[in-house]
Amino acid sequence: MIKDLFSGFDPDYLLVMDGYDDCIVGVVERFGQEPIVCYDKGKIIQKLQDDGMSRDEAIEFFHFNQFGAWVGDLTPCFLSPN
C-alpha cells in the first residue's frame, strides 16, 4: 500500500514516521518545495489510544512529539479532516 501512495515520487526523499503507515493520507506538493508525506491527525491519535494512552495523553503526545518535531524541510504535515 505504501508504494501505491508514493507512486510517482522518489521514496528516498519522503520522510515517514515509523509505525504510522496506516495513517498516511497522501503526499503534499508545494510550488518550489519538495513533496512531503501527509498524515491523518485523527488516525494518529486513535492509534496512540489503541496502544494504551488515554485520549488526553495521546493528544499531548501527538502535539509534543509528532506535530512539534521539526526535522527539516521534509517534515511531514498533518491533516485534520472535517
Structure confidence at residue 51 (pLDDT)? 96
Mean pLDDT of 18-30: 92
Structure confidence at residue 79 (pLDDT)? 97
Q: Give φ, ψ of 70 to 5 degrees.
A: -100, 120
Examine the pLDDT at 1 and tell me if it is beyond 90. no
How would residue 4 be classed by pLDDT, with cut points 50, 70 and 90? low
* Residue 44: closest CA among 30, 29, 64, 28: 64
Give the global pTM: 0.87
What is d(CA 6, CA 14) in angstroms, rounded to the nearest whole number?
A: 8
